[in-house]
Chain A
């Protein structure tokens, strides 16, 4: 067991996987010699050689397209898109090719591949270093979508994703890379050293895809969150003194509906929380599912707290980011409803 940041946990997951399985290859922009702009692949090229971990041209569709070809050969590429904001040139390859290869070839060809991409805001990243494009992937049948919220899960989920026989979009909230973040930007930055989920086993373990986890038990309201918002939800529940049950979804597809429904049926209230823009965001799917399955248990309308329907701004970062003030107000409103 070692204290790890999320960066170190991700690096450890890739290291363990590469050591465990020779078919795992790692590449992307600045991923090789330099070890990644976020240091997630540091030292891997030295350890496993240039043909297992290497730098690529700046071409997202090239990175994903070649990875699909490699996966169809029999390798297990674990590739990096430097920022989720830059995945769009690869969207064709991801949605029309990787996602559908198994289906359209009736299993003749498959695509065991992980596409890692740093996601989310809260870092003054502006319009193209802050986006949360998960809904653009959850809408695509054939893809699986994972968003860890802490080092322990990041390693276990990444190992599980690399072992998964189908393509996985692995979204890493970069605001959580070095420490948990509850949305209180005015307070000093904290590190993972003081957090229980910063204790990470050095060796192999995995966290199964499709399983959510209850981070905070409560009886008054269920908050469905993932990534950075899990920490915002936990902190806000304490601050406003509302006994919220916080569920960390961890995997958006496949979704752990059972855990969600059990909680909402218990609490009778549900809030959906995400950084991504509101309209047609993944929250809409969650709201719809909860409404469909828990209609007779609901005591208040399901509430969504999300990013505004604007591009992610720079100067107005904290007016945009759904922080404790907005979440707290929405919780109070819900309890009065």
Chain B
């Protein structure tokens, strides 16, 4: 007879909770410049180590070091800094607008600005992102008008989505930004399909899928990896590991069991792990993956190691589940400050000019906000028509919807 000892269930817990001292001692941070840069046609099997390390370019002194350095010019870096600052300021204003009751909801990117802003620069016109709700940097760095984003957030009479979508669920085909859905993980596998279509048509365009650490637990994450690998789809599969999925720490999605990047290895996908708060490293890795996809070599999975500094959304209060000062203890620092320090270090920037740019950016965003608010906010001013509610369910309105619209008196 076997030993009939009673079993017990293991439920992971974060190391610290509110009231405790933040502790990231378990996060191993390799030295900047220490991770090798393989050729873009490297066999996934031959670069397994890259899924367990962290590719970093900027060191503690703000220098760009190692084989991943040098993918951007100083001018491009300056522009990158501006994009991140624009996104941060945009977030601040929209967060405030939500608190003022001008919209129902907002989600900020605080601490994660480098990921989407630097990634966008590695794509070419015509490429398509399948983002989550926390990659607005793709739009900002891609030159999408900020006023349009605000119109969407306000659901006003100029809202490009006619008031049908929750704030921040943008869509712009023209800017390579697929329509955001509230359903997590769904877009990850769609990005693979889009990339397969590009390959079927012998096109030159590539796709990028996006997912957070928590959503890797969704079944579509698995489906995306198996399809991407089976058909060698020209896609970059991005996992943004910001440590938190609302209140659940990444351990609930079984992060820390190896890495999220390592999950790509089981599917035979080249997998890299990168410092998500290092603008230079994010760009270099994204560029590597984009070249790999464009050369028809196949997909790449990238894990961005970062930290969600802000609340999950305007409906969330993180002090209920994690220490307030945890973000300050995060060992990879702040992406804006790190790039700023680098630019100062190489002599193309200064604290004074940074302050000046902060003021300029604030003016730009406030001006955009004023323009957007001329079209109304959620509860006052212009709003999409009730007729718009019935349009666009189908290309052609079927009889039953026509009857309903008539009943509604529009």
Contacts and interface: CB of A to CB of B under 8 A. Distances in A.
Interface of A: 25, 51-52, 56-57, 59, 61-62, 65-70, 72-75, 89, 92-93, 96-97, 100-110, 141-142, 144, 165-166, 210, 253-255, 257
Contacts of A66: 189-190, 192-193, 196, 227
Given A62-B223, A93-B186, A72 B194 contact: yes
Interface in B151-198: 160-162, 164-165, 169, 171-173, 178-179, 181-183, 186, 189-198
B193 A65 contact: yes
Contacts of A106: 160-162, 164, 171, 392
Given A57-B227, A61-B223, A69 B193 contact: yes
Q: Which 5 A-B pairs have the closest CB atoms?
A: A69-B193, A66-B193, A65-B189, A62-B223, A254-B398
Contacts of A69: 130, 189-197, 207
A68 B128 CA distance: 14
Given A96-B183, A106-B162, A68 B398 contact: no
B164 A104 contact: yes
A142 B165 CA distance: 15
Contact of A103 (B160, B207, B392): B392
B287 to A, nearest CB: 23
Contacts of B230: 56-57
A253 B398 contact: yes
B161 A104 contact: yes
22 contacts: A25-B197, A59-B227, A62-B189, A62-B220, A62-B226, A66-B189, A66-B193, A67-B193, A69-B195, A69-B197, A70-B194, A92-B220, A96-B186, A102-B395, A103-B164, A104-B165, A104-B171, A104-B179, A106-B160, A108-B160, A210-B398, A255-B399
Interface string B48-63: 0000000000000000
A221 to B, nearest CB: 25
Nearest to B200: A51
A96 B220 CA distance: 13
Contacts of A25: 197, 200
A89 B197 CA distance: 22
Contacts of B130: 69
Contacts, number: 144
B224 interface: yes
Nearest to B177: A108
Nearest to A74: B197
Given A57-B226, A74-B197, A254-B399, A92 B165 contact: no
B161 A68 contact: no
A101 B173 CA distance: 12
B385 interface: no
B179 A166 contact: no
Given A69-B196, A101-B179, A142 B393 contact: yes
A66 B186 CA distance: 10
B219 interface: yes
A100 B392 CA distance: 9
B211 to A, nearest CB: 13
Contacts of A210: 398-399
B126 to A, nearest CB: 11
Contact of A56 (B181, B182, B227): B227
B10 interface: no
Contacts of A59: 222-223, 226-227
Nearest to A254: B398
A168 to B, nearest CB: 11
A96 to B, nearest CB: 5
A142 B391 CA distance: 11
B394 A166 contact: yes
A73 B394 contact: no
A248 to B, nearest CB: 18
Given A25-B200, A92-B183, A68 B400 contact: no
B392 A65 contact: no
A107 B189 CA distance: 21
Given A102-B392, A108-B173, A68 B193 contact: yes
A295 B227 CA distance: 53
Given A62-B224, A142-B394, A254 B189 contact: no
B161 A89 contact: no
A75 B194 CA distance: 9
Given A62-B224, A65-B190, A141-B393, A75 B160 contact: no
A75 to B, nearest CB: 5
B172 A97 contact: no
B129 to A, nearest CB: 12
A166 B192 contact: no
B392 A73 contact: no
Interface in B349-403: 392-395, 398-400
Given A59-B227, A62-B189, A104-B161, A109 B179 contact: yes
Interface string B196-235: 1111110000010000000000011011101100100000
A95 B161 CA distance: 19
Nearest to B191: A69
A107 B173 CA distance: 10
Given A69-B193, A166-B394, 13 more contacts: A56-B230, A61-B220, A62-B223, A68-B193, A70-B193, A70-B194, A73-B128, A75-B197, A75-B200, A100-B181, A104-B181, A109-B171, A165-B395
Contacts of B181: 96-97, 100, 104
A272 to B, nearest CB: 17
A18 B139 CA distance: 36
A118 B161 CA distance: 36
